[in-house]
Amino acid sequence: MNKKFKAISLLLVVMVFATIMAACGKDGSGGGSDVSVGIVLPTKDEPRWVQDEQRFKDALSGTKYTTEILFSQGSSAKEKENVETLINKGIDVLIICPQDGAAAGAAVEAAKKEGIKVIAYDRLITDTDAVDYYVTFDSEAVGAAQAKYLVDNAKGAGQPLYLYAGAATDNNAFLFFAGAWKVLQPKIADGTFAIANSSEAVALKDKAELSRDELSKIIGQVTTNWDPNEAKNKAQTHLTSAAANAKGDVLILAPNDGTARAIADVFGSDSAVSSFVVTGQDAEKASVQYIIDSKQSMTVFKDVRTLVKDAMGMAVTLLDGGSPETTGSYENGKIDVPAKQTDVIVVNKANVKAELVESDYYKAADFTGLE
């Protein structure tokens, strides 16, 4: 083989290799720029996010766009890795529900640097200007609805009130609690309710409006981290140390359905607790059954079908070169993020069938004892 032929052969090999690598896209995975919308959700360990996965896929079906959905499994490091993977897939829009609102800043800043539009989904990403939009339920309205249910079901004066909150790393936990506090505080200040499990809340009982730092002090004492096991352990600790006058007929602000069921099980097993009213949110199937069975008092139904539709509709509008519709904004510590809000519905035993079964959110066959 002469030198000229060898040179031509080598050139052909290099050209073929270059063609193969180009076809593999930025990350060498073969994805290229085929993925239009990248979605990052917090975990597969909660029913809500698994359901959202399918709803997102359904929302994009019938369009010319494609999506890839990744889960962070409770890790901000994994979340950042997921965002980098999607960037390398050539996404144009990122929808992300952060594990930790502040920690997610670095991940979305990397996306923004590549010209990718960023939509915060359900939870706000804080302390960064790399967020274009926020799709959410009115989180303060959720907390206010939970608190109003407790007020409406109060019995007499000095009734024990147990406070629980979500994760201190989740901005929504602050919004939920702030909304609840505004409704509960007048009843705490006038002695209708007696806080049973937070010295920080007792110290602030005369303040109608709490600062972020003040909210943080209370949440730091009563956080569940959205973890039913942690909620159960806290409830057991609180009841073990509770005086006799902190039992009887009690009221419980539980932040979501998973923690509500865990807390309800603990309070329901204490013979000194004669009755309890406990809040929740998300309308999880297990909690709907608890409501039917009178083991959980209410849940705040956030129809995630609408939230998913709003988020994906916003993404498609951006992909089509348009400007998404917004209904307000949220200050994230750096900028005011344009937002679209979705309304919430209070569900209890009286309207559970109408709101959750007749609306086709769930099937009647999913439950027992439904009337």
CATH number for the domain harbouring residue 56? 3.40.50.2300
Higher pLDDT, 269 or 61: 269
Strands 345-348 and 298-301, sheet pairing: antiparallel
Residue 16: per-residue pLDDT: 45
In this predicted structure, the answer to whether residue 17 has a pLDDT above a threshold of 70 is: no
Q: In whole angstroms, what is the distance from residue 2 CA to residue 222 CA? A: 80
Higher pLDDT, 11 or 296: 296
Structurally, the chain folds into a number of domains equal to 2
Structure tokens at 204: 């602030």
- Can you state the percent helix, strand and coil of the chain, rounding each to 5? 45, 20, 35
Residue 327's closest CA among 316, 312, 343? 343
Higher pLDDT, 216 or 169: 216
In this predicted structure, the answer to whether residue 293 has a pLDDT above a threshold of 70 is: yes
| Confidence at 2, pLDDT banded by 50, 70, 90 | low
Question: How many CB atoms are located within 10 Å of the residue 183 CB?
Answer: 17
Exposed, middle or buried, 27 (CB in 10 Å: 0-12/13-18/19+)?
middle
Q: In whole angstroms, what is the distance from residue 327 CA to residue 27 CA? A: 37
Q: HSE (CB half, 13 Å, CA atoms) of 151?
A: 17
| Confidence at 25, pLDDT banded by 50, 70, 90 | very low
In this predicted structure, the answer to whether residue 262 has a pLDDT above a threshold of 90 is: yes
| Confidence at 343, pLDDT banded by 50, 70, 90 | confident
One domain, residues 358 and 331: no
Q: In whole angstroms, what is the distance from residue 205 CA to residue 256 CA? A: 23
Segment 338-342 shows an average pLDDT of 93
CA 95 to mean position of chain CA atoms: 13
Contact yes or no for 143/176 (Cβ under 8 A): yes
CA 224 to mean position of chain CA atoms: 14
One domain, residues 227 and 361: yes
Domain range enclosing 162: 139-302+346-366
Residue 9: per-residue pLDDT: 52
Segment 123-132 shows an average pLDDT of 96
In this predicted structure, the answer to whether residue 363 has a pLDDT above a threshold of 50 is: yes
Share of the chain above pLDDT 70, in %: 91
One domain, residues 188 and 287: yes
One domain, residues 265 and 357: yes
In this predicted structure, the answer to whether residue 18 has a pLDDT above a threshold of 50 is: no
**Cα angle for residues 106, 111, 112 (degrees, 5° grid):** 95
| Residue that is written with structure tokens 């002090």 in the block | 217
Structure tokens at 294: 């009178």
| Residue that is written with structure tokens 């007048």 in the block | 186
Contact yes or no for 304/174 (Cβ under 8 A): no
Residue 1: per-residue pLDDT: 52
One domain, residues 196 and 322: no
Poorest-pLDDT segment among 18-22, 41-45, 204-208:
18-22
Asked, for residue 76, whether it belongs to a domain, the answer is: yes
In this predicted structure, the answer to whether residue 369 has a pLDDT above a threshold of 60 is: yes
Segment 223-243 shows an average pLDDT of 97
One domain, residues 144 and 279: yes
Contacts of 284 (CB under 8 A, 6+ apart): 47, 48, 257, 258, 299
Contact yes or no for 320/371 (Cβ under 8 A): no
What's the mean pLDDT when you consider all of the chain? 91
Residue 52's closest CA among 289, 303, 288? 303
| Confidence at 47, pLDDT banded by 50, 70, 90 | confident
In this predicted structure, the answer to whether residue 29 has a pLDDT above a threshold of 70 is: no
In this predicted structure, the answer to whether residue 356 has a pLDDT above a threshold of 90 is: yes
One domain, residues 158 and 287: yes
Poorest-pLDDT segment among 193-197, 274-278, 327-331:
327-331
In this predicted structure, the answer to whether residue 288 has a pLDDT above a threshold of 90 is: yes
One domain, residues 183 and 284: yes
Residue 34: per-residue pLDDT: 78
**What pTM does this model have?**
0.74
In this predicted structure, the answer to whether residue 155 has a pLDDT above a threshold of 50 is: yes
In this predicted structure, the answer to whether residue 32 has a pLDDT above a threshold of 50 is: no
One domain, residues 257 and 297: yes
Which residues is 8 bridged to in the sheet?
Answer: none
Asked, for residue 19, whether it belongs to a domain, the answer is: no
Write the DSSP assignment of 263-322 as a string of letters.
HHHHHHT-TTEEEEEE--BS--HHHHHHHHTTSS-EEEE--HHHHHHHHHHHHHHHHTT-
Q: In whole angstroms, what is the distance from residue 276 CA to residue 25 CA? A: 58
In this predicted structure, the answer to whether residue 26 has a pLDDT above a threshold of 80 is: no
One domain, residues 272 and 159: yes
Give me the amino acid identity at 371.
E
In this predicted structure, the answer to whether residue 101 has a pLDDT above a threshold of 70 is: yes
Asked, for residue 7, whether it belongs to a domain, the answer is: no
| Confidence at 304, pLDDT banded by 50, 70, 90 | confident
Beta strands in the chain (DSSP E): 37-41, 67-71, 93-96, 117-121, 133-137, 159-163, 193-195, 248-253, 273-278, 298-301, 328-331, 336-342, 345-348
| Confidence at 320, pLDDT banded by 50, 70, 90 | very high
In this predicted structure, the answer to whether residue 192 has a pLDDT above a threshold of 80 is: yes
